Structure 1
Amino acid sequence: MRDGKGVPEARIRENGGQFQARTGTITTPHGQIQTPAFIPVATQAAMKAVLPESMAAEGAQAMLANAYHLFLEPGDDVLDEAGGLSTFMNWPGPTFTDSGGFQVMSLGSGLGKVIDMSTGASPLGDSQMAPGQKRMARVDDDGVWFRSYLNGDLHRFTPEVSMRVQHNIGADIMFAFDELTTLHNTRAYQEVALERTRKWALRCVSEHHRLTQERAHKPYQALFGVIQGAQYEDLRRQACRDLSGMGFDGFGIGGALEKSQLGTIVRWCTEELPENTPKHLLGISEPDDIFTAIDNGVDTFDCVSPTRVARSSAVYSPTGRFNLTNIRFKRDFTPISDTCPCYTCTHYTRAYLRHLFKSKERNAATLASIHNERFVLDLVAGARAAIDDGTYFEYRDEFLGSYYGTTQPNI
């Protein structure tokens, strides 16, 4: 599924023996993905405020949708009848779906939409809820009971149900159903959850094979296993060894990771996993995290952050992130970035975008989102080219030095 070669030994030595960045190609029924690649998120078969055509024009290669949300609305059977996710959302390129594991964690702990990247001053532990939240999911060895956030209806997800739902949705790449833990959980619970995830992975593979044969008239859908284990090296490496022999087409590296440990944890995984399989890091998009992931052998990654922050007027620039609603932009008739070729920067000024946000016009989110997605897509495309031409270290250091080296935007 993945073609490409690793970085020459000379470049690995340049980075103290830890450099694992590589380029390659993932081939799917809906086209190829040149890696490393950022995969924009279309949670409900739609990017918030942005048309698929706009994302294609800005260079997106693939999109990721959420199996949990599509199961609830409109229903995975509707997508199957429509011809699959790509047809349903009018996106001609490759697609991914996650398994619903993240939603299980967030509903079960009340931690919300963002993975908690630290234990915090007062860790919740294994059974406590986040303050002011109500538990809407419960995990057992067979699967998960959860209540819909839409109407409170009770539903059951098992590995077999997750596979059926994702096959119906029809994405090119799916993820096995896993139990996502957080850094609030104890070591003892991490061990229990990891063994549960291992058993679920076996069930996912079995059901995936059954459904693939049953749906032989449909294009083949690849299945990625998900590596958990939190911040524990032995658990991460064991998870990789356990899942490596199950016949997965690729792997997702999941779970809450302390930011300072991101590269180390990813490297544990990429050292253990089969070299010729794609590796996807779930849920990161800050520039330093992206380079850390690439440095350590990640091929693809996704995150909702570019569009989420855009809806609150935060935009990326080569010298850092800033908010367009700041008064200093009221008469600033320059683009967000004069080096950005996106639709927004080639047609609109900071002053106009500020006006849209202050006037609460909906196209404010659209235009800011287009820019932010293009910024991340171009960042990764630049890294991909730099790996191939031998200038990756210079590209990375110059980009990060500019982005984090000043607290003021280029105004």
Structure 2
Amino acid sequence: MTSATNEQTPTTIVDARLREAVARRLRTDHEITAGHADRAGLRRAVARAMAAEGIVAAPDVWARAVRDLVDELGGLGPLEALLRDPAVTDVMVNGPDEVHVERDGRLTRAGVAFDDDAHVERLLRRVLGPLGVRLDRSHPFADAVLPGGVRLHALLPPLAEHPIVTLRRVPAVVPSWEELLASGTVTPAVHEQLVQAVRDRRNLVVCGRAGVGKTTLLARLLGETGDDRLVVIEDAPELRRPATHTVHLRVRPPSPDGAGGVDVATLVRNALRMRPDRLVVGEVRGAEVADLLQAMNTGHDGSATTVHANGAQEAIVRLEGMALLAGVPLAAARAQVAAALDLVVALERGRDGRRRVTEVVEVVAGRDGAVIREARG
């Protein structure tokens, strides 16, 4: 075992020889071969294997070695230590020796590394296999939601020089309004404005770039919906029970042979038959926008979604563009967006990592479609 450390995150103290020896013993361990071992069972099996290998170490070193081996043999190896840090929201692997994290809104290089590209790929297949997600040279990219709600995207060569992995963790607890006010995400005036908009059942879109906190703000807003029945549609479980009466629907990716997939558009159409008071789509990206706009225009007031866009006007244009791709004629797309939306809330993240609401605008119908104007408090 080695004992190198990093000022941000300790590197593993387990070398390749010990990993291989323990893995070999686990193949014949009775608790593992029975197929019922959870992480605690794997920890016990690893400890037995280390004892059988004659490893002797101080209690703290022993415990850390067991933990690192469990991470390696049952998880994402050195990335597991990063994910244990509650301040880390994103982990980005650009290569076996180049790992970055986002902590408190700031990107920094992490003090962990993999042995080589093969090590990264081996761990990816280990965690994706039980989920039925394919990742190989003929299908060199994958999206998955890991146990615990971590979103994983992976991409293999030849699409990139090295295996690329991106992990995003959803906060376990939605910040309170007091916390959002204290951090400067919202001002007191914006807070009152947004809460009143939700209570008035206004249809709204939260927009911004990736990582600015769109889903977090949406979850906080949905907490103001009272006893309304929410049907929430997502491709990953990010909006965890935002209100008392919430039904969650989640997309299902196709199987490795391409069958059985269920997309957001299909779930939106099903949700409309489930008597929702409010329909919520975690993020609109494509053809599902046509069904969502129709729902907003036919009595499902107070519905909401998020969209990737740099500002309110860009969000309107993007929604119109997605409606066009769904087969809606241009004039109809513009008219539907103008009629469906009441409010657009834009977020941004500054260079200091702080997230804040930069725009709250009303959407009204103009001669050529949606027109935005500053929302009145």
TM-score interval for Structure 1 and Structure 2 normalised by the shorter chain? under 0.3
Q: Higher strand proportion, which one?
A: 2
Q: Higher helix proportion, which one?
A: 1
* TM-score, normalising length: structure 2: 0.27
* TM-score, normalising length: structure 1: 0.26
Which structure has the greater CA radius of gyration?
A: 2
